[in-house]
Amino acid sequence: MKVLINRTDAIGDTILTLPMARMIKEKFPDAQVFFMVSKKTADIFRYYPDVDGIMVMDVNETWIKRFFKTLKLFIKNKFDTYLFVGGSHIPSYSAWICRVRYRGGLRSKWQTFFFLNKSVRQKRSIVEMHETDYNLNLLKPLGINFHYKNGYKYKPVFTMDKNDSKNAIELFEAEVKDSSVIFRREIIFIHPGMTGHTLNWSATNYARLVVCIERQWPEKYLFVLSHTQADMKYVRKFRNFLDDEKFDFLKNRIYYFDGGVKGLSNYVTVLDNASLFIGPSTGNTHMANALGVPLVAIYSPIKVQSAMRWGPYHRDSCKCRVVVPDVVCGEQYECAGERCIYYKCMAKIEVDDVFQEVRKIFDEKSNVKTEGEEK
- Residue 234: CB atoms within 10 A of its CB come to 22
CA distance 133 to 149: 10
Q: Which CATH number fits domain 162-374: 3.50.50.60, 3.30.1540.10, 3.30.70.141, 3.40.50.2000?
A: 3.40.50.2000
Locate the domains of the chain by residue range: 2-154, 162-374
CA distance 196 to 236: 18
Q: Do domains 2-154 and 162-374 have the same CATH topology?
A: yes
Q: Residues 331, 307: contact at Cβ < 8 Å?
A: no
Phi, psi of 102 (to 5 degrees): -110, 115
- DSSP H/E element including 224: strand 222-227
DSSP string for 42-76? GGGGGG-TT--EEEEE-TTS-HHHHHHHHHHHHHH
pLDDT at 338: 86
pLDDT at 368: 56
Buried-exposed string 70-81: b where 16+ CB fall within 10 A, e elsewhere = bbebbeeeebeb
pLDDT at 364: 82
Amino acid letter for position 122: Q
DSSP string for 83-113? EEEES-SHHHHHHHHTT-SEEEEEE-SHHHH
Q: Residue 240: CB partners within 8 Å, gap ≥ 6?
A: none
DSSP state for residue 153 in the 8-state scheme: G
Q: Residues 45, 26: contact at Cβ < 8 Å?
A: no
Q: Name the β-bridge partners of 102.
A: 81
Tell how strand 187-190 and strand 2-7 pair up.
unpaired
DSSP state for residue 181 in the 8-state scheme: P
CATH class of 2-154: alpha beta
Q: Residues 204, 190: contact at Cβ < 8 Å?
A: no
CA 120 distance to own-chain centroid: 24
Q: What is the pLDDT along the chain (375 residues), one digit of tens a residue?
A: 999 999 999 999 999 999 999 999 999 999 999 999 999 999 999 999 999 999 999 988 999 999 999 999 999 999 999 999 999 999 999 999 999 999 999 998 899 999 999 999 999 999 999 999 999 999 999 999 999 888 889 999 999 888 888 889 999 999 999 999 999 999 999 999 988 788 999 999 999 999 999 999 999 999 999 999 999 999 999 999 999 999 999 989 999 999 999 999 999 999 999 999 999 999 999 999 999 999 999 999 999 999 999 999 998 878 999 999 999 888 899 988 888 888 889 999 999 999 999 999 999 877 655 555 554
CA distance 298 to 345: 12
pLDDT at 63: 93
pLDDT at 27: 95
DSSP state for residue 30 in the 8-state scheme: T
pLDDT at 373: 53
DSSP string for 231-275? GHHHHHHHHHHHTSGGGGGGTTTEEEEEHHHH-HHHHHHHHTT-S
